[in-house]
Chains A and B, each alone.
Chain A
Amino acid sequence: MIIVENLYFTYPNGVEALSGVNLRIEDGEFVAIMGQNGAGKTTLVKHMNGLLKPTRGRVLVDGIDTRRVSVARLARKVGLVFQNPDHQLFSETVEEEISFALRNFGYDEKTIKERVDWALNMLNLERYRRISPFMLSGGEKKRVALASVLAWDPKIIILDEPTIGQDYMQKEKLRQFILQLNQQGKTIIVVTHDVEFVAECNPRTILMKQGKIIASGEAEEILTNEDLVREAYVALPEIAKLFKCLEEYGFPRNVIDVYEAADLIYKRLRAGNERI
C-alpha cells in the first residue's frame, strides 16, 4: 500500500512541482494518473520508489517512510518502467539486460536463471534471448524494459507513458497484459495522457494539475466530466464526446466504452422502430 501525505516537492532550480498531494493506493488497485505535461505526474511517481525525496510531507510504502530507505531497497517492492527504453538498455544480450536488476538485488545464479526464463516467456521474448537489445525494434525494446522490471516480481508496478510510439496492436496487447497482471494481484499505476487507452482499461483515474490532484474516481465518472477534463488539459474520450452531443436523447452521460455505447444506441434504435 502506498500512502502519500501532504507531499510537497520543489526541484533544485526552484520550481515547485508538487503542492500538497494526498493519495492512498491500496494493494491490488489499478490506477491511472493523468494530466498535462508538467502537471507533476512523473514527479509524483518518482517519490514512490524513492528516486525523489519529499521537500515536505512524506510517502509511505507498506509503512516504510521513503526518506529512511535507499532507492534500491524500495525498488524491490516498487518497479518503475521508464518511458524511454533507450535510457536503460546497455547489455550485450537481452538475457543479461533482464538479469541486471536481479544481480543488483543479490539473487543467486539459480534464481536469476529461473526468473529470466520466466520473464522472457511472459513477454514472448525467448527468441531474442541471445540478441543484443540494440538490434530490436521500438516495440520489442519496450517489452524488454518491461520484462527486466517484472523479472524481480515487484508487487507494485508503475508504467510511465507506456503507450508512446506504440501502434494499435501493441497497445491492445499491453492493455491485456496489464489487466492480467492486475488480476494476479499486482498493484498497477499507469502515468499517461492517452485518454482512449485509459477509457479502454477503465481503472481508478486521478487527474493532476499544477502539482495538485484535482480529481480521483472511476474512469467513467472522471473522464466524462467535461469541466474536470478541461481543467486538467486532458481530452474527452471519443465516446464521451459522442454521448455529450446526444445528451438531449436521454442517454446516460458516464459512458466511455464503445461496446456499451453501441448497446445503448442499438436498444434505443430498436425501441424507436418498435414504437413505429
Chain B
Amino acid sequence: MSVFDGFKFRSISSPIHQLDPRAKFVYVCVLFAVAVMFNNLIPLLILFLIQIPIVFMAKVQKEWMRSMKGSAVFAIMIFAVNLLSLYFYAGHETFTSILERSLAMTVRFIVLVQSFSIFFLTTSPDMLGLALEQSGVPYELCFAFTTAVRFVPVLAEEAQTIIDAQKARGLEIESGNFLRRIRNYIPILIPLIVNAIRRSMELAETMESRAWGACKNRTNLYVLKIKTNDLLLILFSLLLLTVSIYVSIHVHIPPLTSLFT
C-alpha cells in the first residue's frame, strides 16, 4: 500500500498547497497535453525537470519518492515493451535511436505520474470537493466524494478487523487452490459490504437530522477564490502550452544522443 502514500494528501503549509485546485488542475491538464505532444526524449526530460522544484516547494519530497518507487515497476515494463517492440518492428533504426525512443515513452509515463502525484499530495479532498462544487458539479456528488474519502481509513481498518475475526475462527486465507482462495474471501467481503450499507444508513439518518435539504442555496464555510499565485500558475501553464505547440510544429528536435556525437 505504500505506493498509494505517494498520492495521499499531506497537510503541510506550502505555497503549492495554498494554490486553488482549479489552477492546479489546469496545470496538470496542460502537462498531460504537452507530454502527449512530444515523442522526443529532450522535451520530456525538460518536463520532468521542471516539476522537481515544484516538489521541493511543496515539501513533499519523501512522499513523491514513494510514488516514483511505486511506479518504477510499470516504468520498467513500459521501457522493456517499447524496446522489444521497436526492435522487432522497426529494425531499420539504429539501436541508440530505439533506446532513446523507449526511454522517451518511459519518461512520459513518469512525468504523468509525477504531476498527478503532486496534485493529490497538495490538494486536500475537502478543497477538491469544493473546487468541484464551485465548478458546477451538483453538491450531492461532491458530498458523496468527500464523505467517501473520509471513510477510506475507517473501512481499511474495519477490513483488517474482519480478517482478524475470521482468522480467529480458523479461516486460513492463504490456503488452498485458486478457487478455494476466492471462496475464502466471502466471509470477509460479506461483513464488509453489509457494514458499509449499515453505515451509510446511519449517515443518512444523521444528515436528515442536520436539516439536509432545508434550502436550495446552501452556504459554505469556505469559498475558493482565485488569487494572484493561481493566475500566475494558469498563465505559466498556458504559456507552456503555446510554446510547446509552436515547438512541436516548427522546431526539429534532435535526438539526445546526437548532442554527444
Binding site for B on A (CB under 8 A): 46, 49, 51, 70-72, 75-76, 79-80, 82, 84, 86-90, 100-101, 104-105, 134, 148-149, 152
B residues 11-49 in Cβ contact with A at 8 Å:
none
Q: Of B165, B171, B194, which one neighbours A82 at CB under 8 angstroms?
A: B165
Distance between B163 CB and nearest chain A CB, rounded to angstroms: 9
23 contacts between A and B (CB under 8 A): A46-B164, A51-B164, A51-B167, A72-B170, A72-B171, A75-B167, A75-B168, A76-B170, A82-B164, A82-B165, A84-B161, A86-B194, A86-B198, A87-B162, A87-B191, A88-B162, A88-B169, A90-B186, A90-B190, A90-B191, A100-B169, A105-B170, A152-B170
The answer, yes or no, to whether B166 is at the interface (CB within 8 Å) is: yes
Instruction: Report whether A80 and B168 are in contact in the complex, using a CB–CB cutoff of 8 Å.
Output: yes
B interface residue count range (under 10 / 10 to 19 / 20 to 34 / 35 or more): 10 to 19
Residues of A near B164 (CB, < 8 A) are: 46, 51, 82
The answer, yes or no, to whether B187 is at the interface (CB within 8 Å) is: yes
Separation of A101 and B171 alpha carbons in the complex (Å): 7
Closest-by-CB residue of B relative to A46 is B164
Instruction: Report whether B172 and A72 are in contact in the complex, using a CB–CB cutoff of 8 Å.
Output: yes
Q: Of A49, A87, A104, which one neighbours B171 at CB under 8 angstroms?
A: A104
Distance between A20 CB and nearest chain B CB, rounded to angstroms: 24
For the A-B complex with A82-B161, A87-B161, A152-B170 known, give 13 more contacts whose Cβ atoms are closer than 8 Å.
A51-B168, A71-B167, A86-B191, A86-B198, A87-B162, A88-B166, A88-B187, A89-B191, A90-B190, A101-B169, A101-B170, A104-B172, A105-B170
Residues of B near A152 (CB, < 8 A) are: 170
Residues of B near A80 (CB, < 8 A) are: 168
Q: Of B165, B186, B198, which one neighbours A88 at CB under 8 angstroms?
A: B165
Distance between B156 CB and nearest chain A CB, rounded to angstroms: 12
Distance between A66 CB and nearest chain B CB, rounded to angstroms: 13
Separation of A86 and B195 alpha carbons in the complex (Å): 7
